[in-house]
Amino acid sequence: MAPPKNQDKPRLRVVSETSPGELSVRPIQRPTGLVEEVYTRVRAEIMSLAIPPDTRVTIESLARRLGVSQTPVREALSMLEAKGLVTKQQFIGYCTAPILNRLQFEEIHEIRLLLEPHAAAQAAVRMTGEQIEGLQRLLQRMAPEGGDQTRSSYDRFAEQDSEFHERIAMATGNMLIADSLARMHIHLHIFRLCFKSRIASDAHDEHAGLVAAIAARDGAGAESAMRAHILKSRERFVQFAQP
């Protein structure tokens, strides 16, 4: 028998997320910049070898030591993996990257000498005026401050050095060159070999000559300046590479 037409049917209550009196569904916001702060702290410890090379790094221990939850630590380690400073291994987790050995060091400089002088020559021709101005501003930010350089300023210079060379490689318009150099994370690994305050000031002077040649649209001069810079970089660091 059909139910009476006037019989009420049960109704589902629909609650709007913005209904007054209801519990808030807005996510809890974590402090702005927390991931970046964790990343900067761990990165500095890796670059200074306070966290030794080729060492297991656990999310739990870092979170406990830094007094944060595991989420920002996990995100920071993912960022460090993208920089090549840590690797993620199955069944082990994250490990700090090993220090370059002598063979790897020599191979990296061989590749640099093949690619980067050509990139500098191309940059002198292809960089726009705006790109050159950006490179000059970066060079100014890299200028060593008065007094002895600290670990943190040395680490910052290594990051800027990587960006400096990346901008020149990108200016070639050849993404194979740019990607090949970027994937090796050359500059961060080389700067991990040792901490010497004089290194940054010497490299900055060499960068200045290179930028001057690029700004003058002097392809041959830029190529020569980059080759000299790479050879001098090799001289500065070769003694610190592992056997």
Residue 86 vs residue 198, higher pLDDT: 86
Query: Mind listing the pLDDT tens digit for each residue in 166-183?
Result: 999 999 999 999 999 998
Residue 41, both tokens:
């702290």
- Check: CB of residue 96 under 8 Å from CB of residue 55: yes
**Which domains, from first to last, does the chain contain?**
34-96 (1.10.10.10), 102-240 (1.20.120.530)
Q: Which pLDDT score is estimated for 92? A: 87
Whole-model pTM?
0.80
Examine the pLDDT at 235 and tell me if it is beyond 50.
yes
Q: Which pLDDT score is estimated for 31? A: 60
Examine the pLDDT at 162 and tell me if it is beyond 80.
yes
Q: List the Cα angle 106/213/109 in 5-degree steps.
A: 5
How does residue 6 score in pLDDT terms, banded at 50, 70 and 90? low
Average pLDDT, the chain: 87
Query: Mind listing the pLDDT tens digit for each residue in 197-220?
Result: 788 899 999 999 999 999 999 999
What backbone torsions phi and psi does residue 177 show, to the nearest 5 degrees? Answer: -65, -50
Query: Mind listing the pLDDT tens digit for each residue in 14-33?
Result: 444 444 444 444 544 456 68
